[in-house]
Amino acid sequence: MTTTFSTLGVPYPLVEALTEQGKTSAFPIQVDTLPDTLAGRDVLGRGKTGSGKTLAFAIPMVARIGMRTAARRRAGHPLGLVLAPTRELASQILATIEPLAKAYGLTAMTIFGGVSQNPQVATLRRGVDIVVAAPGRLEDLMKQGHVSLADVEITVLDEADHMADLGFLPGVTRILAATPANGQRLLFSATLDNGVDKLVKRFLSDPILHSVDEAHSPVVDMTHHVFDVAGVDEKKALVTRLASGAGRRILFLRTKHQAKKLARTLTAAGIPAVDLQGNLSQAARERNLAAFGDGSVRVLVATDVAARGVHVDDIELVVHVDPPTEHKAYLHRSGRTARAGASGDVVTVVLPEQRRDTAALLRKASIQVQPVAVNADSPAVAALVGEVAPRVAAADMPAVLRPQPQGGGRSTGANAQRKRAARGGQGGQGSQGGQRRQRSTQDAPRTARGTGRGTDVAAHRTEGHRSAEAPAAPRARRGGSRRASAPAGSGSGGTGGGMRVGQVVRQNGGGQRRGR
């Protein structure tokens, strides 16, 4: 029996917005929590990944703020706050909130690090109703006075257990303490360990606990496979075969370098793949996620940074290319498939030396599966891969995998123009050092023949460089340098001085350029 959102007390504008997205029936965690959250109660929700938690807190947040029609938007004073552990998760939460917020004319934004804070500050100054933030950048902006949490009416802490794993709880504690004590607070977490229970006791007032599943329960519609391989070469061939299917799939590795390398290897083999790992800029992350989400690329190669931040429908296969180190990471990685009632498969590729640790990990995750020895051509692999997608030629790769345009041409900045003018319009980084040395020796006699002001400057520069580089230099050398800066007509001393200036400039040209 299905339960509609309207029967749960969801306001009509939000029911309409949900219907436009094709969401008419609530998931269990939404059925359990919405009556209490819409009534203003503090709620502790515990459910497995992919259970619909985001919508479970987005609906009451937008409903509470949207019903305050008399509220006036203030710069830097949001009314709703969602804390998330990663940039990817914050962006996904915003994507869920925005269509609902639009129904009431509300505004929402994300705040996280890795990008310039200036656009975020500008949005805060214009006034925003709901902020979805990572703790680090939010604290920075609070300390700078760009945002105040004094008006926050409802606060949500999502993936609290992951916050604890990442060491964010001290910052989260300070942020929650800055919100009004009488505000509504919702906390969603898969587990209550690692200090999460302390947050519950301190900040939630008489909370109602809703637990849809056991803390570490596997997803019912998820089929697990363990493929044993004989060695590294067999593993590479198997991973390529698993990536060759026609549907969406995510491949997880432990390190950023290996994730980037595997994505490039697959792409070179005609299987378009993008990576998602910590070394990417925010723009590159968003570009790669967008390509994976819209289907232009069907393979995402990721580190654990993506385990909780990717919410894309119809991911049919998750591959643990490198088995994770602990069972919670296994469940969160695997949770990218079989989401929202769909089914999916999870494969763990195991080398001989990894078999014992992997077996222990699966026992802790309550996963019962019999390992199978395979290679890339085994029937079990072929059955799992299903339809194989055609290989894609380099010229036909999606736009996201084509070389991104570089600056090209010459800089038009004022400083660059001055440098080119000084070089006589000649380019080429390799020749600049020689050109500077040649100009320095040629300019030295001209400096000696110049005006008194010019010679004073030359003498001052020469003295400055010599005192910095050789404070114990003989007096005779210093005197020679002064003669080099004397006005024209000083005789042979002037010529010698010119060479001395040229030598000093040649030895310290980088420092003089910075000085100018």
Rounded percentage of the chain residues whose pLDDT exceeds 90: 47
Residue 302 CB contacts under 8 Å (≥ 6 apart), including other chains: 250, 251, 252, 253, 259, 275, 276, 277, 310
In 3D space, the residue among 299, 190, 216, 191 whose CA is nearest the CA of residue 253 turns out to be 299
Distance (Å, whole) CA 323 – CA 350: 7
> Any idea where the domains of the chain sit in the sequence?
6-211, 222-401, 426-505
CA dist list (Å): 171 to 134, 136, 142, 150, 387: 10, 7, 12, 17, 47
| C-alpha–C-alpha distance, residues 387 and 382, integer Å | 9
* pLDDT at residue 475 tops 70: no
Which backbone phi and psi does 117 adopt, to 5 degrees? -80, -15
Report the range of poorest mean pLDDT among 64-78, 127-141, 465-479.
Answer: 465-479
CATH architecture for the domain at 222-401: 3-Layer(aba) Sandwich (3.40)
Q: Which of 95, 94, 140 is nearest to 117 (CA)?
A: 140
Asked if pLDDT for residue 492 goes beyond 70, the answer is no
In Å, the largest CA–CA distance within the chain is 107
Q: What is the mean pLDDT of residues 435-453?
A: 45
To the nearest whole number, what is the mean pLDDT of the chain?
79
Segment 89-141, tens digit of pLDDT? 898 899 999 999 999 999 999 999 988 999 999 999 999 999 999 999 999 99
Residue 377 has pLDDT above 90, yes or no: yes
What was the pLDDT predicted at 483?
44
* pLDDT recorded at residue 15: 93
The residue behind tokens 């709880």 is 169
Q: What is the pLDDT of residue 28?
A: 85
pLDDT for the residue 45: 85
Alpha-helix residue ranges (DSSP H) falling in 269-309: 282-293
pLDDT band at 183 (very low <50, low <70, confident <90, very high): very high
Domain 222-401 in the same topology as domain 6-211: yes
Q: Which fold has domain 6-211?
A: Rossmann fold (3.40.50)
Residue 433, pLDDT > 50, answer no
Cα dihedral 473, 475, 478, 483, rounded to 10, equals -160
* Residue 469 scores a pLDDT above 50: no
The answer to whether the pTM exceeds 0.75 is no
Higher local confidence (pLDDT), 427 or 130: 130
Q: Which residues, including other chains, have CB under 8 Å from residue 31's CB and lie 6 or more apart?
A: 3, 8
Q: What is the rounded average pLDDT of the residues 478-483?
A: 45
| Stretch (H or E) spanning 175 | helix 169-177
